[in-house]
A and B are shown apart, each in its own frame.
Chain A
Amino acid sequence: LAKTTQPISMDSYEGQEVNITCSHNNIATNDYITWYQQFPSQGPRFIIQGYKTKVTNEVASLFIPADRKSSTLSLPRVSLSDTAVYYCLVGPNSGAGSYQLTFGKGTKLSVIP
């Protein structure tokens, strides 16, 4: 499984756009990039997933460059309720060996009033 590296923590003011970058130099051809959000005392929640270029949903955008060795999760106009830990995961989407999600330590985002 590809190893990921992301900042341990980030601070942002309310209303700002936040970009969290994840490095995954050893990503394999059949790997997808997935981001989860975890609030204190809750289970992780799926945010977004992509394979290449850009993916956008109602919560966030995911930017993936052509070489796919990194990805950036973009949260538009954050609010206090976006304070959470954000995990970047890399792995195949299906098939044998894809059952184990590998969570690193994540990025703790603190939104400041």
Chain B
Amino acid sequence: NAGVTQTPKFRVLKTGQSMTLLCAQDMNHEYMYWYRQDPGMGLRLIHYSVGEGTTAKGEVPDGYNVSRLKKQNFLLGLESAAPSQTSVYFCASHKREGSYNEQFFGPGTRLTVL
């Protein structure tokens, strides 16, 4: 199993550009999450999904949109990137029957917005 994978690994955007980050998991997990991590900080939850076709806002959702059209994929979109969205983005997942505190994380996407 590949676990949780994220595409791309790195990206540089100009202010106002849009992009989509892809998260994929092959563990048949129902729950998926998007976090951002800024230098020297912990992770903050952007959006999450408890199943295919459902999404919900986390702690810092402004400026982001998400979609969960397939169980294995969770997409994070930036419609109009801003320098404040420069960060490392992590995707995570876990199964419904498992501990909510035991999440499996991807390797991250490092995004720079100029």
Contact residues of A with B, CB < 8 Å? 32, 34, 41-46, 49, 87, 89, 91-94, 98-106
Contact = CB atoms under 8 A, between A and B. Distances in A.
Given A43-B108, A94-B99, A105 B43 contact: no
Interface string B8-20: 0000000000000
Interface string B44-57: 11001010000010
B101 A32 contact: yes
Contact of A104 (B4, B42, B48, B56): B42
A112 to B, nearest CB: 21
Contact of A101 (B40, B41, B56, B101): B101
Given A32-B101, A43-B107, A103 B50 contact: no
Given A46-B103, A49-B99, A93-B101, 6 more contacts: A43-B108, A94-B99, A99-B45, A99-B56, A103-B42, A105-B42
Contact of B101 (A34, A42, A43, A104): A34
B33 interface: yes
Contacts of B56: 99
B104 to A, nearest CB: 8
Contacts of B90: 43-44
A46 B3 CA distance: 14
Contacts of A46: 101-104
Interface of B: 4, 31, 33, 40-45, 48, 50, 56, 58-59, 90, 92, 99-108
Nearest to B31: A99
A43 B105 CA distance: 5
A43 B4 CA distance: 10
Contacts of B102: 34, 46, 49
A34 B41 CA distance: 18
B100 A93 contact: yes
A45 B101 CA distance: 11
Contacts of A92: 100
B67 to A, nearest CB: 18
A14 B20 CA distance: 42
